[in-house]
Amino acid sequence: MIIDTHTHLDDDRYIDDLDDVISRAKSSGISAFIIPGASIDTLPRAVEIAKEYDDVYFAVGVHPYDIDSYDKSILESYITHPKCIAVGECGLDYFRLPDDEDEAKSIKEQQAKVFIEQIELANRYEKPLIVHIRDASSDSLDILMANPLKRGGVLHCYNADETLLKLKDSFYYGIGGVITFKNAKKLVNVYPKIPEDRLLIETDSPYLTPHPHRGERNEPSYTKLVAQKMALLSGVDVDKIEEITTQNAKELFGI
């Protein structure tokens, strides 16, 4: 069995066939699903989906691209829900920074402020943290080292930056479809350095669809393809990878 630790089932691309998507996943051996909190706007739908399906859980959080909508009071209004198992995805993303240095600096500062507030929220409610990092490893590492977490967390869609392996005592590493890409040499090379007891499987669906389905909408059933690639790189049977990552997910998220 596999737990998809990061799937945006609240995305509009699943509105018409969510039942089918979950049914296909269940038939493929996916036992549970975690919807990360990406924005305030999608949070109510994530909660409704978690209420409707027994094995779907959600997190409260705001993605760095959505910090303008950040409202701690709204996140707190959902964080005590019995199906809320984490805070995030939150973090730093410098991929789309403007060329103007002053404007870029201001955005970085705003992202850092909202990131730290969500770390504090996770600690206040003793929830694990789901972290998003893109082109911002150094600043993210500094923030995470300076603000230790009570319950640890996961580096969602781990970007293969070896400096982030310094966090392996308190963080897990989310491995998704990227590891099946032909151009994912850096992640393939770093993967063996991640301890087995720190590995998680995710899809980030509907994004980052694994090979051979690239170009299609991603969905949780494709975690099987991720597990197969991980097993190949680890030199173990795929059932072992599924067992390890499922146990890791249960330990981190308490499900």
Reported as a single tens digit per residue, the pLDDT across 201-210 is: 999 999 999 9
Q: Which pLDDT score, from 0 to 100, does residue 233 have? A: 97
Across 60-71, average pLDDT: 96
Read off the pLDDT band of 253 (50, 70, 90): very high
Q: Which pLDDT score, from 0 to 100, does residue 193 have? A: 98
Read off the pLDDT band of 17 (50, 70, 90): very high
CATH of the domain at 202: 3.20.20.140
Percent of the residues in the chain that have a pLDDT greater than 70, as a whole number: 100
Angle at 166 between CA 160 and CA 172, to 5 degrees: 65
Q: Which pLDDT score, from 0 to 100, does residue 9 have? A: 98
Mapped to the 3 state alphabet, what secondary structure does the chain carry?
CEEECCECCCCHHHCCCHHHHHHHHHHCCEEEEEECCCCCCCHHHHHHHHHHCCCEEEEECCCHHHHHHCCHHHHHHHHCCCCEEEEEEEEEECCCCCCCHHHHHHHHHHHHHHHHHHHHHHHHCCCCEEEEEECCHHHHHHHHHHCCCCCCEEEECCCCCHHHHHHCCCEEEEECHHHHCCCCHHHHHHHHHCCHHHEEECCCECCCCCCCCCCCCCCHHHHHHHHHHHHHHHCCCHHHHHHHHHHHHHHHHCC
Residue 80: give the domain boundaries: 2-253
Are 1 and 31 spatial neighbours (Cβ–Cβ below 8 Å)? yes
Across 57-69, average pLDDT: 97
| Integer Cα distance of 199 and 154 in angstroms | 9
* Number of domain units in the chain: 1
Across 75-101, average pLDDT: 97
| Integer Cα distance of 185 and 173 in angstroms | 17
221, burial (CB in 10 Å: exposed 0-12, middle 13-18, buried 19+): buried
Among residues 183, 175, 153, the alpha carbon closest in space to that of 232 is found at: 175
Q: Which pLDDT score, from 0 to 100, does residue 111 have? A: 98
Across 116-135, average pLDDT: 98
Mean pLDDT of the chain: 97
Q: Which pLDDT score, from 0 to 100, does residue 231 have? A: 98
Reported as a single tens digit per residue, the pLDDT across 190-203 is: 999 999 999 999 99
Q: Which pLDDT score, from 0 to 100, does residue 184 have? A: 95
Q: Which pLDDT score, from 0 to 100, does residue 127 have? A: 98
Read off the pLDDT band of 87 (50, 70, 90): very high
State yes or no: cis peptide before 212, omega within 30 of 0.
yes
Read off the pLDDT band of 106 (50, 70, 90): very high
What pTM value is reported for the model? 0.97
Strands 153-156 and 129-134: parallel
Q: Which pLDDT score, from 0 to 100, does residue 109 have? A: 98
Q: Which pLDDT score, from 0 to 100, does residue 216 have? A: 97
| Integer Cα distance of 122 and 53 in angstroms | 24
Q: Which pLDDT score, from 0 to 100, does residue 249 have? A: 98
Neighbours of 79 (CB within 10 A): 20
| Integer Cα distance of 40 and 127 in angstroms | 18
Rounded to 5 degrees, φ, ψ at 149 are -100, 140
